[in-house]
Amino acid sequence: MIKNTLIQAVEVGAKELIRFFNGSFTVSSKATINDLVTEADHASEKAIIELIQSQFPDHFILSEETGEMASASDTKWIIDPIDGTINFANGIPICCVSIGVEYKGEMILGSVYNPFMNELYFAEKGKGATLNGRPMRVSKKESLLQSCLVTGFPYQYLDTANGPLQVFEKLVRKAIPVRRLGSAALDLCWTAAGRFDGFYEHKLQAWDSAAGYLMVEEAGGKVTDLSGNRYNPYQPGIIATNGFIHDQLQAVVNGGEL
């Protein structure tokens, strides 16, 4: 029942993305000038929450724009109505709806849907991950120097040692391709699908990674925080890889040299 609702939820959210895409809609800034929220974000979120509450009115909901809709339920829905809002606002079709379902503190289900590429990702704890119904597996590359990576940069830059630009510079100076798509949820899904060998980012919110990190784990990959501890979406840093290059990438993120 929850699985079916999850799929329906990403689909109703995606309908709003399609309805507004390349059209006329309001855009405003949140904490910083480029931390955007659009009319489509709100419409997608509203459609998703209404669907979930129609079937599970007592469940806990955490959504990017609304925040917490707390309850005593052991089941929590973690919603990003549009991951990649800047892309969406500029007519770039690299954006998606992302929803994770947590039960008693453990992520059990996740779905990410990019309707513009017709790619529906789904993962269930202990049962694998799929892209449009077909099983996904991470890549098999064993060398960081031969890898293709992806990352993102926070809206409020972290001016710290081994920050986003410092790590990025180390990698690209060794001619390692590092992409920036602008959607952490898709970065994780594409890592799960073997398109990227690894993903790292210094500052994410739970709704950015809740569904995607389960994709990587269920596709055979490894996900940790920046220090190598078990990943928790309520802390900011993430490293997600095929497993083979994980220690190598983690070392660079923490100040090591290639």
CA angle centred on 176, ends 175 and 177, rounded to 5°: 110
How much is the pLDDT for 36? 76
Architecture of domain 2-135: 2-Layer Sandwich (3.30)
- Measure Cα distances from 64 to 67, 180, 204, 248 in Å: 6, 21, 12, 32
At 191, the amino acid letter reads T
pLDDT for residue 158: 63
H-assigned helices in the chain: 2-20, 39-55, 85-89, 164-173, 184-192, 206-218, 246-253
* Among 110, 123, 144, 149, CA closest to 220: 123
Instruction: Say if CB 79 and CB 94 are below 8 A apart.
Output: no
Q: Outline which parts of the chain fall under CATH 3.40.190.80.
A: 144-253
Strands (E), 66-216: 67-69, 75-83, 96-103, 106-114, 119-124, 128-131, 134-135, 149-151, 178-179, 198-201
Distance CA 162, CA 166 (A): 5
For residue 114, which of 14, 190, 21 has the smallest C-alpha distance? 14
User: Model pTM?
Assistant: 0.96
Q: What is the block-wise mean pLDDT of the chain (258 residues), using blocks of 10 residues?
A: 97 97 83 80 97 98 94 98 96 98 98 98 98 98 98 81 92 98 98 98 97 98 97 97 98 94
Domain 144-253 has CATH 3.40.190.80: yes
- CB contact at 8 A, 210 and 121: no
Domain with CATH 3.30.540.10 in the chain: 2-135
